[in-house]
Amino acid sequence: MSAEAQAATARVAQFRRRLWALAGVLLLGMTLSLFLGRYPGPYFTPPATLRDNELARAVVLNLRLPRILAAVLLGATLAAAGTTFQLIFRNPLVDAGFLGVSQGAAFGASLGIVLLGGSAAMVQGGAAVFAFLGLAASYLMAQRLRLGDWVLRLVMAGIGVAAFYSAGTGIIKYLADPLKQLPDITFWLLGGLWAITWQDVLHILPVVLPALAIIFLMRWRLNLLSLRDATAFSLGALPGRERLVMLIASVAATAAVVSKAGQIGWVGLIVPHIARRTLGADAQAAVPGGMLLGGLFVLLCDDLARTVLSGEIPLGILTSLIGAVVFFSLLLSNKLELKR
């Protein structure tokens, strides 16, 4: 084996070690998060209290644990879907909110709150259904357009569908009862995990796990799908069909987590960037790296959201705020240039 080939093999091993280290950090973070909170005392719950205090034990096992799992799933899903969308659309500035998906979720949730009684099932179901309808409408519309290549057509269709949904959400907000329903819509749009129970986690797992598994297992293939149609085809791929599979997996997982957590901005946009810059642009590393980093990022944000103040800080505000700060500090420290 040539010196170059040896160096290349060593590089792969190095990335694999980094991924495992990241997985270790995430597990550690999840464990520590169990002891963060505001009961019995603020900030830190000493493990010893769990032995004596039955209520504290119940808080840790029935409130914090499912919430921690939900935060990690939420982050991993948004980052994985963001990475997938960015690769497939050959555009580093898109995420799964693209193609009318997040506007669809917002519209569905608002509809559930105002017209369908506002029960949790209606809000979550509405968000999931309309997120998917957003993808379907964008896709069907794109098939009817006759300009540019597949990617451009989808982008154009997505912009149109998103505008329709935004207008629809506006109408619903206008019609909503300003004292009861409008605050609900606003809080859903701000996003948060305060109401997560074990049941919620069990609801989303059957969708999120298979979808993430598909994205994870096909991760090398994503490199191929980021090439132009003719090139991907000449390399044996069926770009249209394979991209559709990846998009459905991404949107299904996103719709599931967003229906429980509301709109959580920035994660799907910035985490894939950080993963690519630190672990390499190859989707083989960027996909699992993004999932781990996304899980860690949302976990930390949610820890802050539920610990810092006696009241809950909406998670969506924190992810955007911290995401923007991280983004700028990376830009200014030139770290983003490392892996250009």
Partner 1 sequence: MMCEDSRRDTSRAAISLHDLAFRYAADAPDVVQDITLDLPSSAVTAILGPNGSGKTTLLHLILGLLTPQRGRISLNGEFHSHRRASRVLGLVPQEEPPAFNLNVLETVLLGRAPYLNLLQRPSERDYATAFRALETVGMAALWDRPIPALSGGERQLVILARALTQEPDILLLDEPTSHLDVGNARRILNLMRDLRAQGQTVIFTTHDPNAAATTADHVVLMRQGRVLRAGAVAETLTGNYLSATYDVPIDVVQDRQERLLVVIY
Residue 208 Cβ, how far from partner 1 at the closest point, in Å?
19
Tell me how far apart the alpha carbons of residues 167 and 103 are, in angstroms, rounded to a whole number: 10
Task: State which residue, 74 or 232, has the beta carbon closest to partner 1.
Answer: 232
Residue 242 Cβ, how far from partner 1 at the closest point, in Å?
7
| Token pair belonging to 117 | 């009684």
Pick the stretch among 13-21, 105-113, 127-135, 226-234 that binds partner 1 (CB under 8 A).
226-234
Please report how many Cα atoms fall inside a 13 Å half-sphere around the Cα of residue 67, on the Cβ side.
Answer: 25
Task: State which residue, 162 or 215, has the beta carbon closest to partner 1.
Answer: 215
Beta carbons of 108 and 284 less than 8 angstroms apart? no
Residue 338 Cβ, how far from partner 1 at the closest point, in Å?
10
Alpha carbon 82 to its chain's center:
7
Q: Which of 147, 236, 310, 334 binds partner 1 (CB under 8 A)?
A: 236
Rule CB under 8 A: say whether 26 interacts with partner 1. Answer: no
* DSSP code of residue 91: -
Give the number of residues in contact with partner 1, rule: CB under 8 A: 38
| Placement of tokens 């792969």 in the chain | 12
Q: Which of 9, 14, 31, 62 binds partner 1 (CB under 8 A)?
A: 9
For residue 41, CA distances in Å to 49, 126, 164 come to 10, 38, 48
Tell me how far apart the alpha carbons of residues 78 and 90 are, in angstroms, rounded to a whole number: 18
Task: State which residue, 173 or 276, has the beta carbon closest to partner 1.
Answer: 276
Rule CB under 8 A: say whether 212 interacts with partner 1. Answer: no
Which of 120, 129, 136, 163 is closest to 261 using CA atoms?
Answer: 120
Rule CB under 8 A: say whether 34 interacts with partner 1. Answer: no
Rule CB under 8 A: say whether 14 interacts with partner 1. Answer: no
Task: State which residue, 152 or 217, has the beta carbon closest to partner 1.
Answer: 217
Task: State which residue, 237 or 308, has the beta carbon closest to partner 1.
Answer: 237
Reduce the DSSP state of residue 36 to 3 states and report it.
Answer: strand
* DSSP code of residue 116: S
Which of 229, 267, 244 is closest to 76 using CA atoms?
Answer: 267
End-to-end CA distance of the chain: 28
Q: Which of 49, 197, 223, 307 binds partner 1 (CB under 8 A)?
A: 223
Rule CB under 8 A: say whether 282 interacts with partner 1. Answer: yes
Residue 218 Cβ, how far from partner 1 at the closest point, in Å?
6
Rule CB under 8 A: say whether 229 interacts with partner 1. Answer: yes
Rule CB under 8 A: say whether 312 interacts with partner 1. Answer: no
- Which amino acid, one-letter code, is at 81? A
In sequence order, the β-bridge partners of residue 36 are: 44
Beta carbons of 302 and 321 less than 8 angstroms apart? no
Pick the stretch among 33-41, 176-184, 278-286, 304-312 that binds partner 1 (CB under 8 A).
278-286
The footprint of partner 1 (CB under 8 A) covers 1-2, 4-5, 7-9, 11, 87, 90, 92, 217-221, 223-224, 226-231, 233-238, 242, 276, 280-282, 284, 339-340
